[in-house]
Structure 1
Amino acid sequence: MELRDYITVLRKGWVLILVLALVGVAAAAGFSLLKKPVYSASAQVFVSTETSGSASDLAQGNTFTQQRVLTYSNLVSTPIVLLPVISKLQLDMNAEQLATMVSATAPTSTTLISISVNDTDPVQAADIANATSQSLTNVVEDIEATDEKGSSSVKLTRVKQADVPSVPVSPNVPVNVVLGLLVGLALGVGIAVLRETLDNRVRTEQDVEKISDKPVVGGIAFDSKASERPLIVQVDPRSPRAESFRTLRTNLQFLDIGTGARTFVMTSSVQSEGKSTTVANLAIALDSAGFRVILIDADLRRPRVAEYMEVETNAGLTDVLIGRAELEDVAQPWGRGNLVVLPAGQIPPNPSELLGSRAMQDLIERLEKEFDYVLFDAPPLLPVTDAAILAKKASGAIVAVASGKTHKGQLAAAVSALESVGAPIAGFVITMMPVRGPGAYGYGRYGYGYGYGVEEGENTPKVNPPKRGGKKLGALSRAER
């Protein structure tokens, strides 16, 4: 992942990261409040050795004392020192339990021993520290070697008495809260990155570019009411979704497909990716710009165009292909412009054979002479081969990709299905793009800026479509039919 990817992950998962950070802070604060405070008291003992007073004896005695200090500090946690403390203070514990509360340290190059005691009772912590220092002094005097007079050559003197502490050493609330925050942030970032790494769905243009080098020609904004108003360009032309179709129309006009014809097959990897509504709205957007457009429902298995465009379905493409009807008899004008709709007609038993027939090729060649744009709505690529067969005869296929729904493996398989038969891919359209958050449809490449409320045909000049010869089928009115 690149730096840009990590930034995107953080923007996508900021809510999760924030929640886990707050959970970490709350957990640390709760732990600090529930944990009983622990106090620390410390006493200090000085170790000395009696010598004759000469320089050599003093040096030897100092070396001997430093060597003994480490031994004495380790002696602090032994029963021989702690049992007298338990007896003196009448503690309800054994030497092993008391040893967990007592610690001794000997600073380097010194003859000092620091005895520290941690306890939830500050008074008891100070009493134990003082009693332990006194017990250590007594034990050393008893077990250490004595001179001719019976006196020990090593002497321990308590130079610092333990005072009752007023501030607990644990829990450290600020430190715990900071640690909880850091742990929560780390956990949130880790989960966000892991989720992004394991997510195999197509969400952005970059995901499509990793699968194919063909351009992304448009992005369609998500609309929760799309099923209620599929023809959004006609119903609500000022909406962001309608503007995204006009942007797709503009991008399609400047798409270099290497041929003079403009015949496109709209398909997708699997069903329910918005291909039918996309091609229907694209046809209306092209028509509003003054182009001669024919929209053909080539989904001979589950046709939807006639339902969206509200045209008759008794006869259509299948009737034309088998020679049972003429194109002029079944192609129906739509709206007030030059848009013509050719429904699928009766569902045949052999859709693939019909779409790959010579009659289909002849029909496409005829339509390319009579219309500026020929748009086919074809079935998904993965379940059947219809779209791949038809796309080979057209200028190219436009593959609809549902953002956050289509899996990368499905899109890769769809691209492979087109490439395996030599069908050209004109580009991709990302549908159902979110309107908020990272990767949202907005002011980016497919976004709209200010002024989107002005509907074309009101105050904006129309694009002059290319002039072609042939009969202008799209201009026929119902009366002329």
Structure 2
Amino acid sequence: MSVELSTYLRILHRNWILIVALTILGGAGAYGYSVLQTPTYEANTQLYVSVRSDTSGVSELAQGTNFARQAVVSFVDVVDSAIVLDRVINDLDLDTTAQQLARWVEASSPTNSVIISINVSNTNAETAAAIANSVGMNFADVVVNGLEKPEGDAASLVRIETIEPALVPTAPSSPHTTVNILLGIVVGLGLGVAFAVLRSILDTRVHSLHDIEAATEAPVLGGIALDPDARKRPLIVHADPRNPRAESFRSLRTNLQFIDVDGSSRSFVVTSAGPGEGKSTTTSNLAIALAETGARVALVDGDLRLPRVAEYMGLEGGVGLTDVLIGRAELVDVLQQWGTGKLFVLTSGRTPPNPSELLGSQAMQRTLDALAEAFDYVLIDSPPLLLVTDAAVVSRFTSGVLIVAASGSTKKPALAAAVEKLEAIGSRLFGVIVTMLPAKGPDSYSYGAYSYAAPTDEVSRDEKPRDERGRRRSQRQQDDT
């Protein structure tokens, strides 16, 4: 129950602008409707119906009263009849017909009562009161001296007297502006909530870490906040080390260090379900963050279709991975050191006509084995999983896969399909990295939570021996060459 409540609260928080806008719009619309309506005034008069008796006995009085109660039921229908309303029109010189006037006249009587209430509505207060009093007077005359008058000169036994004359109303009865505004606010609020829930149900995009958890059981390794200037400075860890977004990559690095990988090598394919989700930027920044700890890191541009690593890292990308795979160059000759640390980059090289075949070749496996032997971490940037098979093919030669999903862009069915594709070929998915998360709001991510677990200015105890192993592997590789 608490999970459902938190989900609804998150939906309301995410769509609060829409809900508030519709609520205000509902209230404003109701106010506008009320202003445009012509004010209507109501006047009310009450008549008392009785039956006279020649004797004053109790039984006769009771019979008269019962007769009056029964007669009132029929008298109510007489109030708005033409025989009465035509007289009212003549008396007040009204420019209307009995049929039209009947729409404004309403008569009623409580059960077992001899009281008749006549209610008249009109756009003019004085006219409403005049019509009500005229209807009461003419109704009484029609019944007493017409419908209920005995033959001959005998007086009618029915008496109808006005006990409450109609007064000129001081305030309009409609529109009820306050009530209408409150009703408009309630309707607007209801529509806002309904639209928010419907929008959330129909929206299949990933927005938060909760959406990731709904799409896959793989853990969320980290969240990267949205940066509108990411294209201008993609390497935020290097360009602005104290930036909160740079700290989020260090948090991701810390989580990656705790991944339980079989064997001593840690090689990861970084991919995504679709294009434009920030995988190349994430891979490059993660490589820099890992190198800050003193670990030897190899960054491989395995996207032989649309390479980006060389551009982001500011390196020459004309010779690289493809040259090694076809035997045109040696691995040690095309690895380029980046910065003053222990980060080495293997660019993609020239674009081949058969990327999938090259990436699935034995040469690729030997290359990755050599990199895993010489470096503590190997990160391979690869194309989207659902577009081509490159990432799935390379993942067979590595420790596992890291999937990048963009908040507000990646669709949950696409992410689930990418995970199923990895499971189908037996590749190990270590976790999901969520990019482009909003810095504020219900979908924001507390990306500084682990920033002190792996400081950037000192090497952890676990990383020092790994660094020594990397040096020894590199030295052996150089001796062999």
TM-score scaled by length of structure 2: 0.93
Could you say if the C-alpha distance between residues 449 and 319 of structure 1 is closer, same or farther in structure 2, counting changes exceeding 3 Å?
Answer: closer
Q: Is the 8 A contact 1:294 1:341 kept in 2?
A: yes
Query: How big is the shift at 1:146?
Result: 2.2
Q: Is the 8 A contact 2:373 2:473 kept in 1?
A: no
Name the counterpart of 1:81. Answer: 84
Query: How big is the shift at 1:145?
Result: 5.3
Residue 17 of structure 1 aligns with an amino acid whose one-letter code is I
Q: How does 1:116-127 map to 2 (within 5 A)?
A: 116-127=119-130
Query: How many Å separate the matches in 2 of 1:284 and 1:265?
Result: 16
SS of match in other structure, 2:19: helix
Tell me which of 237, 240, 244 is aligned to 1:240.
244
Query: How big is the shift at 1:135?
Result: 1.1
Q: How does 1:186-201 map to 2 (within 5 A)?
A: 186-201=190-205
Tell me which of 380, 394, 400 is aligned to 1:396.
400
Could you say if the C-alpha distance between residues 210 and 456 of structure 1 is closer, same or farther in structure 2, counting changes exceeding 3 Å?
Answer: same
Residue 88 of structure 2 aligns with an amino acid whose one-letter code is V
Q: Is the 8 A contact 1:47 1:111 kept in 2?
A: yes
Query: How many Å separate the matches in 1 of 2:452 and 2:125?
Result: 73
Deviations 1:134-187 (A, max 9, x none): 111011111125277522221111111111111111122211111111111112
Query: How many Å separate the matches in 2 of 1:14 and 1:344?
Result: 46
Q: How does 1:8-87 map to 2 (within 5 A)?
A: 8-51=10-53, 52-87=55-90
Corresponding pairs, count: 470
Query: How many Å separate the matches in 2 of 1:34 and 1:81?
Result: 33
Query: How big is the shift at 1:44?
Result: 0.6
Query: How many Å separate the matches in 1 of 2:169 and 2:273?
Result: 72
Could you say if the C-alpha distance between residues 429 and 474 of structure 1 is closer, same or farther in structure 2, counting changes exceeding 3 Å?
Answer: farther
Corresponding position: 1:315 with 2:312: no
Name the counterpart of 2:350. Answer: 346
Could you say if the C-alpha distance between residues 463 and 175 of structure 1 is closer, same or farther in structure 2, counting changes exceeding 3 Å?
Answer: same
Q: Is the 8 A contact 1:233 1:284 kept in 2?
A: yes
Q: Is the 8 A contact 1:298 1:317 kept in 2?
A: yes
Name the counterpart of 2:232. Answer: 228
Query: How big is the shift at 1:260?
Result: 3.8
Could you say if the C-alpha distance between residues 109 and 260 of structure 1 is closer, same or farther in structure 2, counting changes exceeding 3 Å?
Answer: farther
Query: Cα RMSD over matched residues?
Result: 2.2
Name the counterpart of 1:456. Answer: 456
Tell me which of 425, 428, 432 is aligned to 1:428.
432
Query: How big is the shift at 1:257?
Result: 4.0
Q: How does 1:208-227 map to 2 (within 5 A)?
A: 208-227=212-231
Query: How many Å separate the matches in 2 of 1:229 and 1:151?
Result: 106
Query: How many Å separate the matches in 1 of 2:431 and 2:134?
Result: 85
SS of match in other structure, 1:295: strand
Residue 354 of structure 2 aligns with an amino acid whose one-letter code is N
Query: How big is the shift at 1:474?
Result: 7.0
Query: How big is the shift at 1:432?
Result: 0.7
Query: How many Å separate the matches in 1 of 2:253 and 2:217?
Result: 21
Name the counterpart of 1:4. Answer: 6
Corresponding position: 1:102 with 2:102: no
Identity %: 48
Name the counterpart of 1:370. Answer: 374
Tell me which of 174, 177, 189 is aligned to 2:178.
174
Residue 175 of structure 1 aligns with an amino acid whose one-letter code is V
Q: Is the 8 A contact 2:215 2:413 kept in 1?
A: no
Q: Is the 8 A contact 2:376 2:470 kept in 1?
A: no
SS of match in other structure, 2:246: helix
Deviations 1:357-395 (A, max 9, x none): 222222222222221111000111111000011112211
| Structure 2 unmatched runs, 5+ | none
SS of match in other structure, 2:215: coil
Could you say if the C-alpha distance between residues 59 and 242 of structure 1 is closer, same or farther in structure 2, counting changes exceeding 3 Å?
Answer: same
Query: How many Å separate the matches in 1 of 2:96 and 2:318?
Result: 96
Residue 84 of structure 2 aligns with an amino acid whose one-letter code is V
Tell me which of 258, 282, 301 is aligned to 1:278.
282
Query: How big is the shift at 1:118?
Result: 0.9
Query: How big is the shift at 1:32?
Result: 2.2
Q: Is the 8 A contact 1:295 1:340 kept in 2?
A: yes
